[in-house]
Structure 1
C-alpha cells in the first residue's frame, strides 16, 4: 500500500539537520589552522556537536518511507521513484564537483581521469557531502527487505531485541572500520563507513517510529525535557572532549590516528538518539508557536535536499570572496560565522529560486515536492 502521509515534525527535523550539515562543513576547516589554539578547539567542538545531521536524515528516511510504503505495493514502482529522485542529482553534482574543487576555496581541477570518475561514483568522493548519497541509495535498494524483516520481529513482539541487536552490530561495524583503516589501509575505512550497516540502526529506528508514531510521541511527551537535554548535552561534552584530548595529545589533527576514535564510535549513539528526541521536542515547540521563526525552519527543511547538494559550492565560493576582500583566512575568528551565515542564506535563496526553473529545479529536488530525504508528501495533517 502507498499512503499519503505528513508528519509535522519532519520538515523541522530536516531544517535542523541541514543547518547542522552546513555547520559541520564550515567548521571542518579547523584542519587548516596552524597549531592547536582556542579557535581550533572551538571548531572541533562544533564539528562534533553538529555531526548528528546524517543520522537524523537517515532516521527521517526510515520514518517516512515506512509510513508511506507498507503492505502490498509495487516494488518496481518504488525503485523507479527512488532512483528518479536521487540518481540524476547525484550524477550531475558528481560531475560538477569532479570539475570544481570545493575544498577550502573554489577552483577548477581539470578533466578527471577515468579511475577518479569511477571512484567518485562508487564512493561519493567527488565532494565531501556526496558520500551520503551512496549510503541512502543502499537503503533505498534494501528497503523492501529491511521492512519485511522488521515486520516479522514486530509481529513477534521482539522489536526491542531487534533494535538492540542492530545497535550492537552498527557500533561494532563502525569501530572495526576505524581499526581496519588504522592498521590495514585507510581506504578500507573510506569504504566500510559508507556501507549501510554503519547507519542501519538509525534507519530501522525510523521504521519503528513510523509503525508506532503515536506511541513514540506519547513516550517522548512523558519524559522530562530537562532530562532529555541533559542526556544529549552530557554525551556531546564527552564525545567532544575525546576529540579535543586526542588532538591536544597528538599536537595536531593529522597526528591522530583512526584507532583513537574507536571509543567515540562506541559512544556516539548515546549522543545521537537523545539529540533526535531533543530535535523532535524543539519541532513541537516551534510548530505550536506558529511564528516567523517556525515558518523559516520549516521552509529551510522543505528545501533541505537542494541545500545539501549545493552548499559546498556556496561555502567555497563565499570563502574565496571573503578571503579576497578581507585578507583573512580559515585561521581567523570572523571567517567561520560569516561563511556559515553566507552558506545558509545563499544556499537557501538559490534552491528556492530554482523551484521555478524546470531543469534546475529537478537537479536540486525542487521540481516536485515529494521525494526529498524520504519521499514525504504534503497533504493535510492527521
Structure 2
C-alpha cells in the first residue's frame, strides 16, 4: 500500500502533541511571570495539544480503511503481533519500573485496563476497536453515511452524558464512570472517521485542502485558540468533550493543507517525517519512561525548565524508539528465516 504523506505528517504531529501533553501536565497550575488570559504557557500547550489521542485513533482507523480486507483470523493475528506483543512488553517495563511488583491480581488489572502507565489506556481502546472492525467495515460498505452518523451519535452521546454527570445528575452507572477513557464508545467516531479514508476520499480532501489552504490554516489556528479558551472557561481540561469532534478533523485538514508547501520548501522534511512516522508508536510507548527518569531534576523547574524537559524527552525518545524497533526487526528477520528454512 502506497504511503499517504499527509497521514504520516499527521501521525508525527500527534506523536509530538502526546509528548507535550504528558510533559506539560504537572506544570499547568504552576506560577509563571507570563500569563495569557489567566493561563500559563503549560496550560496553553497542554490544551492546544488535546487533539493528539483522538487523532491517533482516527489514524488507526485510516490505516485499516486504506488496506485490503483480510479474513478475521488473519486480521486479528496481525494486530496481536503488531500491537499486542509490544503492549505486553511495555506493560512489563512500566510495571517493573513504576510499581516494582508482579502481584498477579494487580498485574492482570494493569494489562486489562492499560494502567501500568498513564498512556497505555490508548492500546486498550484500539484493541476494542480492532475487535469491532470487521463489523464496522461491513457496515461502512453497506452505508458509509449511516455508519459515520451512528458512530458520531455514540461518541457525542457519551460526551453529553459526562456533561450532565458533572452538572450533578447521576446518569452514568457508578461501575462505568472510572473506565470511560478506556471504553470504545467514547472514541468510536474518530476511528470510523478514519475508516472512511479511501484513495478517492483522500484525493478529494487533498484537492479541497489545496484550494482553501490559507482559510483552513487560519481556521485551525482560530479554533485551537477558541478550544483553549473554552477549556479555561469551563474548567474541563480532559479530551472527552464535543469541541474535539470539530477540532480533530480540522487539525487533520490543516495538515493536508500545509504539508505539500512545507515538504516542497523544506527538502529534508519528507525523509525525516517518514522516519518519525515509522517509529511513532514506539515513541508513544517509550516517552513516558524517559519522562519518569528526568522529571524530578532541578533544572526542569518553571516554564523554561518545562520547555527544556519537553525538548529532552522528545530528543531522547526518538533514538530509544529507533533502537527498540531495530532490535525487534532484526529478531523478527532471524525468526522468519529460520521458519522458512524449517518449512523447506
Bucket of the pairwise TM-score, normalised by the shorter protein: 0.7 to 0.9
Deviation at 1:36, TM superposition (A): 11
Aligned to 2:341: none
CA distance in 1, matches of 2:33, 2:241: 23
Of 32-41 and 78-87, the range deviating more from structure 2: 32-41
The change in CA–CA distance for 1:190 and 1:264 in structure 2 (over 3 A counts) is closer
Which residue pairs with 1:280 in the alignment? 256
Higher relative contact order (CA 8 A, sep 6+): 1
Q: 2:218 aligns with which of 230, 234, 249?
A: 230
CA RMSD of aligned residues (A): 2.9
Q: Is the 8 A contact 1:48 1:239 kept in 2?
A: yes
Match of 1:244 in 2: 232
Contact 2:47/2:237 (<8 A) preserved: no
SS in structure 2 at match of 1:268? helix
Matched, 1:218 2:207: yes
Q: Report the counterpart of residue 319 of structure 1 in structure 2.
A: 295
Aligned CA distance change for structure 1 residues 34 and 186 (closer, same or farther; 3 Å): farther
What whole-Å deviation, never above 9, does each CA across 1:140-198 have from its counterpart, x for those lacking one? 111111111011004xxxx2x54344323211112324555775688733312221121
Q: For this pair of structures, how many residues does the alignment match? A: 327
State how far apart, in whole Å, the 2-side matches of 1:36 and 1:245 are.
21
8 Å contact from structure 1 (residues 49, 240) kept in 2: yes
Q: Could you tell which deviates more after superposition, 233-242 or 134-143? A: 233-242
Please give the TM-score of this superposition, normalised by the length of structure 1.
0.77
Q: d(CA) in 1 for partners of 2:227 and 2:90?
A: 32
User: In the TM superposition, what is the alpha-carbon distance from 1:317 to its structure 2 partner?
Assistant: 1.3
State how far apart, in whole Å, the 2-side matches of 1:120 and 1:36 are: 40
Deviation at 1:31, TM superposition (A): 5.3
Shift of 1:19: 0.6
Which of residues 138, 145, 154 in structure 2 aligns to 1:169? 154
Gaps of 5+ in 1: 102-108, 248-259, 369-382
1: CA distance between counterparts of 2:317 and 2:221?
29
2:15–2:284 CA contact under 8 A, matched in 1: yes
TM-score computed with the length of structure 2 as normaliser: 0.84
Pick from 91, 94, 97: which aligns with 1:94? 91
- The equivalent of 1:7 in structure 2 is 4
Indicate if the aligned counterparts of 1:228 and 1:278 stay in contact, CA closer than 8 A.
yes
- 1:66 deviates by 1.6
Secondary structure of the 1:51 match is coil
